[in-house]
């Protein structure tokens, strides 16, 4: 069982975990995704080692789960274009999707477009959410890590690990819109349905054997 010190070092990517048959858009290649994932592992390992030296909990152990997932997703959005020369980060604040084909939009900036890649990160292996049903290529980085409640719950430390990366072109019929009532203050959401999940599973990009099956399944 890993100690807190050992948990500061993330689990390396499985050497045979990438699918050479996965189809990625806009010139993106498997090696670009691999390099970005490795860069995040370097980042989270460095940060957690430094926090440990200051007697502070690991990043994933004190950030709210949604905030930590956002960091993973934003890091991947920032980093993939460093390795893939044909895509760029969407320069529009809260623009959709997160990544755009380079040079297609003025200033590489789009408030809303169907061309591009939407990036998400999640501790769950299904039922990912967005704000609206979209026609878009969705790429989800599924990961395993501790969370703040683990300390109270007595759950043992474990290193951050990428469990799976899935991606596919979805259309609006692959989403279920939840909406909200007139009196609700909840943010409207849409969830990827089984049809979308199957598309993404069939075009899986990375899988850590055994670890992906152990992820929490969110119904």
Does residue 81 lie in a domain region?
A: yes
Does residue 38 lie in a domain region?
A: yes
Cα→Cα distances 155→34, 124, 146, 152, Å? 30, 18, 8, 8
Does residue 218 lie in a domain region?
A: no
161 membership: H or E segment, kind and range: strand 161-170
Cα→Cα distances 8→93, 150, 184, 191, 215, Å? 33, 15, 40, 33, 20
Pairing of strands 87-89, 99-101: antiparallel
The total of structural domains in the chain comes to: 1
pLDDT, averaged in runs of 10, over the chain (219 residues):
91 95 96 98 98 95 95 98 98 94 95 94 83 83 94 89 95 80 58 90 92 57
Does residue 138 lie in a domain region?
A: yes
Structural domain span for residue 105: 6-10+18-177+184-209
d(CA 155, CA 150): 5
Cα→Cα distances 173→70, 132, 169, Å? 25, 11, 12
Does residue 214 lie in a domain region?
A: no
CB 139 within 8 A of CB 164: no
Tell me the pTM.
0.91
């Amino acid at each position: 069982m890993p100690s807190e010190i050992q948990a500061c070092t993330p689990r390396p990517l499985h050497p045979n975990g990438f699918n050479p048959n996965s189809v990625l858009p806009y010139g993106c290649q498997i090696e670009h995704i691999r390099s970005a994932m490795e860069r995040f592992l370097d980042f989270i390992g460095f940060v957690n080692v430094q926090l440990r030296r200051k007697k502070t909990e690991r990043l994933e152990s004190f950030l709210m789960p949604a905030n930590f997932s956002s960091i993973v997703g934003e890091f991947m959005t920032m980093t993939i274009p460093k390795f893939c020369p044909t895509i760029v980060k969407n320069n529009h604040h809260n623009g959709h999707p997160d990544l755009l084909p380079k040079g297609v939009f003025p200033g590489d900036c789009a408030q809303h477009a169907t061309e591009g890649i939407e990036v998400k990160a999640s501790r769950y292996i299904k039922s990912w959410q967005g704000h609206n049903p979209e026609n878009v290529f969705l790429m989800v980085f599924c990961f395993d890590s501790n969370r703040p409640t683990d300390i109270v719950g007595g759950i043992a430390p474990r290193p951050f690990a990428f469990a799976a990366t899935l991606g596919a072109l979805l259309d609006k019929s692959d989403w279920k819109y939840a909406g909200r009532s007139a009196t609700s203050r909840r943010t409207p959401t849409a969830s990827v349905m089984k049809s979308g999940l199957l598309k993404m599973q069939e075009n899986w990009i990375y899988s850590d054997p055994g670890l992906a099956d152990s992820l929490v399944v969110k119904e």
